[in-house]
Amino acid sequence: MKRSWQYGLAYAVIGLAILAFVYYFIVYNIYAFALFRFPFDYEQGEGFELANVVWYSRGETPYRDSSSYPFFSTNYAPVFHLVILPLVLIFGPEYWTGRLVSYLGTLLTAAAIGYAVQRESQRWWLAAISGLAFLASNYVYHVGPIFRQHMFMVMFETLAIVWLAVTVSREEQTGQKSNRGWLIGMGLLLLAGYTKQLAYATIAAAFIFLFLRQWKRAILWAIGFILTAGAIFLLFTWITDGYWFISTVASNINRFVPGQTVALLRQFVQLHLIIVLAAAAFAVYQLYFERLSIYAIWFVLAALNGLTAGKWGAGESYYATAVAAACLVSGLAFHRLLAWGEQRAADDKPLAVGSWGMAPPILLAGIGLLYLIQADRVFHSPTHTPFLRGVAAALGKPTYAEIPPQTGCSAPQPARPVYYVDSAGVSLLGIPPTAEDAAAGREIAARVAATNTPSFSEEASFNLYNGREVITNPPYLLNLFENNLLDLTEMLDALDQQQFDTVILRSQFYPWPILQMIGQRYETQELIEMNGFVYCIMYPTQR
Amino acid sequence: MISGLLGIVGLLAIDLFRVGNYGGIGPMQRLALTAAGLIVLVGLTLLPAGNRPA
Of the candidates A176, A263, A365, A172, the one whose C-alpha atom is nearest the C-alpha of residue B53 is: A172
Query: Which residues, 6+ apart, have CB-to-CB distance to A355 below 8 Å?
Result: A345, A348, A349
CA of B16 vs chain A CAs: smallest distance (Å): 24
Query: Chain B contacts of A215, Cβ < 8 Å?
Result: none
C-beta separation of A514 from A469 below 8 A = no
A70 cis-preceded (ω within 30 degrees of 0): yes
Cβ pair B53:A291 closer than 8 A: yes
ipTM for this prediction: 0.71
Q: What's the whole-number mean pLDDT along residues A119-142?
A: 98
C-beta separation of A328 from A321 below 8 A = no
Domain-by-domain residue ranges, chain A? 16-39+94-213+254-377
**pLDDT-derived band at B23, boundaries 50, 70, 90:** low
CA of A291 vs chain B CAs: smallest distance (Å): 5
State CA A127 to chain mean position distance: 22
Indicate the residue of A256, A291, A292 with minimum beta-carbon distance to B28.
A256
Cβ pair B46:A287 closer than 8 A: yes
CA of B20 vs chain A CAs: smallest distance (Å): 15
Q: Is pLDDT of A363 > 80?
A: yes
DSSP structural state of residue A408: S
Cβ pair A212:B54 closer than 8 A: yes
Indicate the residue of B27, B42, B53 with minimum beta-carbon distance to A258.
B27
* pLDDT reported for residue A3: 63
CA of B37 vs chain A CAs: smallest distance (Å): 15
User: For B35-54, what is each residue's pLDDT tens digit?
Assistant: 888 888 888 888 888 878 88
User: For A210-260, what is each residue's pLDDT tens digit?
Assistant: 999 999 999 999 999 999 999 999 999 999 999 999 888 877 777 788 888
Residues A41-61 as b or e (16 or more Cβ within 10 Å = b): bbbbbbbbbbbbbbbbbeeeb
For the purposes of burial, counting CB atoms within 10 Å of the CB of A417, is it exposed (0-12), middle (13-18) or buried (19 or more)?
Answer: exposed
User: For A399-439, what is each residue's pLDDT tens digit?
Assistant: 999 999 999 899 999 999 999 999 999 888 999 999 999 99
The answer to whether B54 faces chain A, any CB pair under 8 Å, is yes
Q: Scan residues 200-229 of A and list those with Cβ closer than 8 Å to B.
A: 212
Task: Round to whole Å and give the CA distance between A457 and A472.
Answer: 8
Express as a percent the part of chain A with pLDDT over 70: 98
Cβ pair B54:A256 closer than 8 A: no
* pLDDT reported for residue B47: 84
The answer to whether B50 faces chain A, any CB pair under 8 Å, is no
User: For A310-349, what is each residue's pLDDT tens digit?
Assistant: 887 788 999 999 999 999 999 999 999 999 999 998 887 7
User: For A258-300, what is each residue's pLDDT tens digit?
Assistant: 888 899 999 999 999 999 999 999 999 999 999 999 999 999 9
